[in-house]
Structure 1
Amino acid sequence: MQRVQVTPRSFPKNLIDKDWSKRKITHKNVNIPEFLDVIHDMEIREDDVWVVTLPKSGTTWMQELLWLLLNNCDFEGALSTHQELRSPFLEFNFYINEDIEDSLKPVQELQSPRLIKSHLALPLLPSKLWLGTNKVIYVFRNPLDAWVSLYYHGVTTGPNYGKTLEQYFDEQVSSQEYVTEIIEHAYEFYQLRKEPWIFYTSFERMKKDLQGVINDVSKFLNKPVSEEQMERLLKHLSFEEMKKNPTTNHLWERAHKAHTTHKNAGKEKHNFVRRGKVNGYKDELKPEQIEKVNVWIEKSLKENSITMEELLLLNESYKNTL
């Protein structure tokens, strides 16, 4: 997969002191620079809440939790409206139509409080976010699990149909630079985890202690929940309920991508909420693939003086700093 290097108009030097000139960012969409300028200058509202992740890293799971907290646990509303309409994906319109003029229309037309999803790296997000006046939630996941999940998503939507997981991995994780970019995407938010406007967590932590994460996020957003609401949240956000919920399986998104989707889309279907397993990649990838990628991951981690255990919040010393 060919990727092009992109350079933002400016960098968040006020947040992280480092040599930003060495920060390399690539993107699979060759026409994205003009869109990124629009994002850079984007107006944001004071009550906007943002959820930022890499793809297939627990985004939908966290979005559902955040939307419910921001909307007084309106479970009926959540079950009756597709998540993409309640909490739009910032980049979606551009990826589908490449229409700069209307690219932000779904976000701009959304009533406050807006919950906005993005997969963009910190330097590519709206520069006004760097002022630290909005709430931002970041979720990281073991990249190997995220990539396997992304493969199956691509099988359903078409581009990966007919490819083996091994072939996909060889194409997707094809360079040290790409792996480094993934680690830096997470590490930059990890460095900001003690800022009062950033909530950093992981898919693995959500799996281990969902109730604890709900409690922490509710405090972060100043949206307390009752015992009854907590009970309903735990059920609504369970893997079993999320998997069978049509509003959280991106059916709306697939329908609106139909005109641009690969011709083989739908010939083999995998639920968007598929396995929801930690370390599931070990069941599906060959040992030599895992070893090869882990060498690249470890190199990137070492360059940033961080460990995967820290990024995933698996170390026992981690304490939420709310």
Structure 2
Amino acid sequence: MGYSISKIRHNMDHEHCLATKTWIRLFKRTGTPTYFERDAFLVDYGQLEKLNNTPSPRAIKSHLPLHLLPVDLWRVQPKIIYIARNPKDVAVSTFHMISDGHKIFSGSIEDYFDLFMDNRTLFAPHYAHVLAYWELRNWDNFLFLTYEQLLNDRFDEVKKIAKFLESKYGEDELKQLTEYASFGNMQKLHIPKNDYQFFRKGKAGGFFDEMTENYIKKFDEWTTVHFKDSDFKFAI
């Protein structure tokens, strides 16, 4: 989905600092590949110079929670797109990334589930991350999307993003863009590292294949408790 946002964004132009960017905010592992920024690791990855030398317009992806956003973001008010995903799929997907991909976690998948619900994972708590951005959903420069919506009707979601970014494309162009940004095409374009495919499954409800009924129940109870005072609900 991130590639489509970048392509849609190309005819926008903001001159000042953060206004040259479309910020794509998401909790870890919601399906959007990195462009120039990866949060606290930006300098370590050697991307800061590349970002500073990239002409407008730019699309920046980050996992940062709301309270850690740059202060200038609120003054300049660039376009911000946030993508939320149900916590069960997030937990499963992140486990495979840190275990099979980065190889920095040696515990079991159940160990990771417990850490996730105990808010002891990177960018946690998941619920606080989502709820904070949900409060901004009615801002003119903010678009709140869900991973499940993007999968359910990719064409309509691409049109929604194009409208939000004030980009003007014909139906045929948007259809081409939708196909380009499809999971299958992204999987073909991505070169796996260390035999790990970043684009692993790309579906909603993949947790059913790897999460026991007991953990599904635990996650559902955990989600109900933390989202009980919000009108935001996950599709699954």
Partner Cα separation in structure 2 for residue 110 and residue 91 of structure 1: 19
Instruction: Quote the residue 2:20 is aligned against.
Output: 47
Shift of 1:207: 0.5
CA apart distance, 1:134: 0.7
1:89 correspondence with 2:38: yes
Pair 1:242 & 2:186 matched: yes
Counterpart in the other structure of 1:289: 215
CA RMSD of aligned residues (A): 2.5
Residue by residue over 1:73-115, the C-alpha shift from the partner in whole angstroms, topping out at 9 and shown as x without a partner, is: xxxxxxxxxx63xx43343334x47xxxx77333222221121
Q: CA deviation at 1:130?
A: 1.7
Match of 1:139 in 2: 83
| Bigger Rg, which one | 1
Separation of aligned partners in 1, 2:142 and 2:179: 26
Give the one of 162, 179, 184 matched to 1:218: 162
Instruction: Write the letter of the residue equivalent to 1:175.
Output: D
Q: 1:176 to 1:234 in 2, by over 3 A?
A: closer
- State how far apart, in whole Å, the 1-side matches of 2:218 and 2:124 are: 14
The letter of the residue matching 2:226 is S
Unmatched 5+ residue regions in structure 1?
Answer: 1-42, 61-82, 255-265, 315-322
Deviation at 1:151, TM superposition (A): 1.1
Deviation by residue 1:54-86 (Cα, 9 ceiling, x = unmatched): 0111223xxxxxxxxxxxxxxxxxxxxxx63xx
Instruction: Identify which of 59, 69, 79 aligns with 2:32.
Output: 59
Rounded to whole Å, the distance in 2 between the matches of 1:194 and 1:181 is 23
Change over 3 Å in CA distance of 1:211–1:103 after alignment to 2: closer
Q: Deviations over 1:260-299 (max 9, x none)?
A: xxxxxx3xx3310111111110121111122222222211
Seen in structure 2, the aligned counterparts of structure 1 residues 237 and 180 have a Cα distance that, compared at 3 Å, is closer
CA distance in structure 1 between the aligned counterparts of 2:55 and 2:163, rounded to whole angstroms = 23
Distance in 2 between the 1:92 and 1:225 partners?
Answer: 35
Aligned equivalents of 2:96, 2:125: Cα separation in 1: 22
- Indicate the percent of aligned positions where both proteins have the same amino acid: 26
Q: Cα gap change, 1:206/1:189 in structure 2, threshold over 3 Å: closer, same or farther?
A: same
Q: Secondary structure at the match of 2:101?
A: helix
SS at match of 1:51: strand
Does structure 1 retain, via aligned residues, the 8 Å contact 2:39–2:64? no
Q: Which residue in 2 is equivalent to 1:200?
A: 144
Counterpart contact for 1:156–1:270, Cα < 8 Å: yes
CA contact (8 A) 1:136 1:198 kept: yes
Instruction: Say which SS state the counterpart of residue 160 (structure 1) adopts.
Output: coil
TM-score, normalised relative to structure 2: 0.82
Superposition deviation, residue 229 in structure 1: 1.5
Instruction: Give the match for residue 298 of structure 1.
Output: 224
**Cα separation, 1, equivalents of 2:209 and 2:131:** 27
